[in-house]
Copies of this chain bind each other. A is one copy, B any other.
Amino acid sequence: MDICVTTLLRDKGFKVTPQRLAIYSALAATKAHPSAEMIYNELQPVYPTMSLATVYKTIEILKELNLVQVLNVGEDSFRYDADTTNHPHVRCMGCGRVDDLYGVDSSEFIKQVSSQTDYTLQGQQFYFYGMCPRCQKQTAAVS
């Protein structure tokens, strides 16, 4: 995996630095769809001198290399996903967590949209909003 990133970076003329590898690894190792700040906080213990700016700059490059995709779940900050397959996401209105939605076939839906519009479609993002199992229980307990 990391070898892959190393090669990809070098091939595109980017230098391979420990910070870049660490940021990508952090993203690849989680399904939590962290924000820039969450990545920064997670790496603080290991890279105490690393700045938030470096996180942003690196994400910019990873985006260019198609190693991360950007999510815009309607919060104040962006979230990032090292899984670049185009899958829907769901955000919990209770705790704010963002999960993947696998096992959903959106191709029919996309085909339908494509036939209805005179746009040339290049991509899409599907965001669902609801309550995660844990927050459902808490709400039930309160009432």
Residues in chain A within 8 A of chain B (CB atoms): 70, 72-74, 88, 90, 92-93, 99, 101-106, 108-109, 112-113, 116-133, 136
Task: Assess the A119–B104 pair: CB atoms within 8 A.
Answer: no
Docked complex Cα distance between A3 and B115 (Å): 38
Q: Which B residues are CB-close (under 8 A) to A90?
A: 113, 117, 119, 121
Closest to A105 in B: B112
Identical copies in the complex: 2
Q: Which B residues are CB-close (under 8 A) to A121?
A: 90, 128-130
Docked complex Cα distance between A119 and B104 (Å): 14
25 A-B pairs in the complex with CB atoms less than 8 angstroms apart? A72-B74, A72-B127, A90-B113, A90-B117, A90-B119, A99-B119, A101-B113, A101-B116, A103-B116, A104-B112, A105-B112, A108-B108, A113-B128, A117-B128, A120-B130, A120-B136, A121-B129, A122-B129, A122-B131, A123-B129, A123-B130, A124-B126, A124-B128, A125-B127, A127-B127
Q: Which B residues are CB-close (under 8 A) to A108?
A: 108-109
Given known contacts A118-B133, A123-B129, A124-B127, what 11 new A-B pairs fall within 8 Å (CB)?
A72-B72, A74-B125, A101-B117, A102-B116, A104-B109, A105-B112, A106-B109, A108-B109, A117-B130, A122-B131, A124-B128
